[in-house]
Amino acid sequence: MIPLLAHTPETLHAALHAEGPGVPLAACRRAFHDLVGKGLPGTETRDGLSKASIRALEASCTWALPEIETTVVDDFDKSVRYLFRLADGERVEAVRIPLLKPGRFSVCLSSQVGCAMGCVFCATGRLGLSRNLATEEIIGCFLRVRADCPGRVSGAVFMGQGEPFHNYDAVLQAAEILCHPNGGAIAAENITISTVGVVPSIHRYAEERRRFRLIISLHSAIQSRRDQLVAVSRKWPLPSLAEAIRAYANVAPGRVTVAYTLVSGVNTGADEAEALAALLGDLPLRINLIDVNDTTGEFAQAPDAERRRFMDLLQPLRVPIVRRYSVGAAQNSACGMLASVTP
């Protein structure tokens, strides 16, 4: 059976033709628009679809959505964490994030159940990797959140559980569905993919000239320190990561965003700013700074004065430095806290 939510109209059309007599492209477009664009369930009530097309879709396709097990609202910032139960019993999360513009929301999506990258400050990393999410599961989570949303979903970020570039094909296909005008209808520049540095995938992303926003979570430009913060850094050391970032910078539409999760007393010093300047200082960077959200109490957030000092130390780079706020910390919904815990 073909998972309908894993396809754009064009790939669905090709998949159905590979399986049997096929369904006209116009009918695939219609089914896609109804299911993903409008979020209508099933195919029974489709206007504009021939009975033959409906029969063929029903005979060849599935379109089950994951069940919402729990929703957890953060009363402080109004973010909502959704805990999903997948068909095989695995659980994964997505977070609905209110944007500054009233009535607009972004959805933080997971790409894997757990994660293999081993960032020491991250609750998902401590779970280890259970499995990749399939495109239809990612889109299914998105559709569930959107159906529950009191406004318009105009953004999506792959910053939930998992390393998106460790599940490249499924995530990029999901991103294409999210930005398809008859699907999620989210502008490509409002879809963000965050990677901790899966070097081969960064090269591939650059070669494919994808147009989604890419953030590279650097956390440290000093090899020994990065090794301590991000286990996978030993697999793809900084010189190879810097080479991949350069390849991406050559084709990126704008500045290349690198992110630091700031840990007090660890990666906020002058040595860090100097190392970043030496590693990537010639590139048009944007630097995002995020407070660590450690659930173990082992890694402390940098106090305001420490963060401001680090921002001052970065000034010689003469690039935009943006402090990013993570919502949902009170409800284990923030960056680095997703571990499928129930309240």
43 or 161, CB closer to ligand SF4? Answer: 161
**Helix, strand, coil percentages in the chain from 3-state DSSP, rounded to 5:** 40, 20, 40
Minimum distance of ligand SF4 from residue 268's CB (angstroms): 18
**If binding means CB under 6 A, how many residues of this protein chain bind ligand SF4?**
11
Minimum distance of ligand SF4 from residue 230's CB (angstroms): 7
What residues are labeled active site? Answer: 93, 335
CB 215 within 8 A of CB 179: no
Phi, psi (deg, nearest 5) at residue 171: -70, -45
CB 326 within 8 A of CB 114: no
Q: Identify the residue among 117, 252, 275, 302 touching ligand SF4 (CB under 6 A).
A: 117
Separation between Cα atoms, residue 101 and residue 222, nearest integer Å: 38
Tell me the angle at which helices 25-32 and 51-60 cross, rounded to the nearest 10 degrees.
70
User: Can residue 329 be called a binding residue for ligand SF4 (CB under 6 A)?
Assistant: no
Q: Identify the residue among 23, 97, 115, 313 touching ligand SF4 (CB under 6 A).
A: 115
Tokens of 46: 């489709």
Separation between Cα atoms, residue 37 and residue 178, nearest integer Å: 9
- CA atoms within a 13 Å half-sphere pointing along the CA-CB vector of 159: 27
User: Can residue 119 be called a binding residue for ligand SF4 (CB under 6 A)?
Assistant: yes
User: Can residue 125 be called a binding residue for ligand SF4 (CB under 6 A)?
Assistant: yes
User: Can residue 245 be called a binding residue for ligand SF4 (CB under 6 A)?
Assistant: no
Identify residue 99 by its one-letter amino acid code.
L
Minimum distance of ligand SF4 from residue 62's CB (angstroms): 28
User: Can residue 331 be called a binding residue for ligand SF4 (CB under 6 A)?
Assistant: no
What string marks each residue from 206 to 225 as x (binds ligand SF4 by CB under 6 A) or -? --------------------
Using CB under 6 A as the criterion, which residues of the chain lie in contact with ligand SF4 when the complex forms?
A: 115, 117, 119, 122, 124-125, 161-163, 196, 336
